[in-house]
Amino acid sequence: MRAAPFVLRATFAGSSCFVIFASASLAQAVWKVGSSPSAQFADLQPAVDAAALGDFIVVESGAYSGFTITGKPLTIVAENVLGASIAGTCTVRSVPVGASFTLRNVKITGTSGGASTPGVAALRALDCAGPVVLESSVLVGGSSIHAAPGIEASGVGSLSLRGVIATRGAGSAPFSLSSEGGPGMKATNCGITAWGCDFTGGLSIASNFDFIGAERGADGADLSSSPGYFLSCHFKGSNGGDSGYPGTFPSGGGDGIGAPGALAGSCVLASCTFEPGVGGFDPQFGSGPNGVDVNPPSAATYTAEAPLAFAGSSPVREQQTIAFDLELGAPGFAYFAYDVAPVNAVLFPGIRSPFLLDVTTAILIPFPGGPSLTAGTYGAQFIAPDLPVSVLAVTAYAQALFVDGGFTYIQFGPLTAITLLDSTL
């Protein structure tokens, strides 16, 4: 049960706004992983095992092993961006309805396979009814004869990504076999929102035997029956493998997005860029086909929204500075909303970008100095409040809203999670 929220009024150059931080139940705990005297655990899995629903895990800079979470909505945040390096797959299963899982500031390299075993994704999110939120992280799939994606998601109602780099591991195989890379992200039956992310397919390698052809290049993202909204993202397909022996057919290049089973127009793309892979080469048959931006093309809806970036610094402690950064690609009116928890994506009529907060409880405020702003980069700062004595950590979720100067469209920006910690942690 969530305790009542407390509200802080912050002043920016004469104007005021409200920032909400809400605690979970009083039983909520904060666990620390690392090598300092204040850390309770040296690795992540023991901390995950000890944590209860709604707990926080703060990770010091260092090297760690992967973990598995089942049915636990947790917040895991590294102290510094990409300061925590995790070797081995991290799996999140069965986040329940009404709860969420948040992961921020980590680099994960998935478990590698071998000549006969596939690699494993850096992050696997499976059968989650509640939102899964990933921020400011690098996810590299495990290498193998069948390399794994950076992100593998299946049955996730709302997968929210901001500032994430997802790369599939490279194919690696014995002399006699060809091997395949694969998509930076592979999603099946998911709902996806992504802002400012990079999805890159892994390399394929040809066999040296003439009867085994080279593998096709990998897609930047493989979205199987997974509608999504992507703003300012980059999709790079890998090049197809060259023939390992003259006279074998060359392979094709990977697509920016492969969308098998997608409904027409279900992949909404705003200010995105594409780099399809180039087909492989064979001295006898020439080059294989190049990849395309989106395959099939009918899956894509291209929109005219301008680039929009939004982020808050996290984690911070009491009396430290909380910084927000906003980047606008066009003049218009900028706001942002706060709430105590994310929800599965909500689409409003006439607005293609999703709202990821509860429309009945979120508070909407003008961005400091606005709401009318020209195109450019803006920042806002305020001092974090002291937490109630009984609370060690809280997280607020914020999302930007932009209306262009001509009032022709409304656009929601990325979701960012701000974790506030007690000063003693």
Domain boundaries, the chain: 34-303, 311-421
Q: Residue holding tokens 């980590």?
A: 106
Average of pLDDT values for 60-75? Answer: 95
Judge whether residue 12 has pLDDT over 80.
no
Separation between Cα atoms, residue 58 and residue 33, nearest integer Å: 6
Sheet architecture: strand order including 138-140: 62-65, 84-87, 106-109, 138-140, 165-167, 198-200, 234-236, 273-275
Q: Kindly state the tokens that stand for 137.
A: 């992280």
pLDDT at 262 (0 to 100): 79
Query: What 3-state class would DSSP assign to 264?
Result: coil
Place of tokens 């294989």: 288
Average confidence (pLDDT) over 309-322: 89
Query: Given this model, what pLDDT does residue 243 score?
Result: 65
Instruction: State the Cα–Cα distance between residues 23 and 244, nearest whole angstrom.
Output: 59
pLDDT grade for 206, boundaries at 50, 70 and 90: low
Q: Please tell me which residue, 310 or 241, carries the higher pLDDT value.
A: 310
Q: What percent of the chain has pLDDT over 70?
A: 83
Best mean pLDDT range from 134-138, 173-177, 280-284, 306-310: 134-138
Indicate if the pLDDT at residue 228 is higher than 60.
Answer: yes
DSSP secondary structure letter of residue 297: G
H-only helix segments in 125-239: none
Using CA atoms, how far residue 287 sits from 100, 201, 213, in Å, is 47, 20, 13
Supply the pTM of this predicted model. 0.87
Strand 294-295 and strand 372-373: pairing? Answer: unpaired
CATH class (in words) of the domain with range 311-421: mainly beta
For residue 172, pLDDT over 80 is answered with no
CA 99 to each of CA 44, 136, 155, 351: distance values in angstroms, whole numbers, following the listed order: 21, 21, 16, 25
Residues 6+ apart with CB under 8 A from 401: 334, 335, 336, 337, 364, 410, 411, 412, 413
The pLDDT value given to residue 352: 83
Choice between 27 and 419, residue whose per-residue pLDDT is larger: 419
Confidence at residue 115, expressed as pLDDT on a 0 to 100 scale:
66
- Give the pLDDT mean for 371-382: 92
3 state DSSP class of 193: strand
Q: Inform me whether the pLDDT recorded for 104 exceeds 90.
A: yes
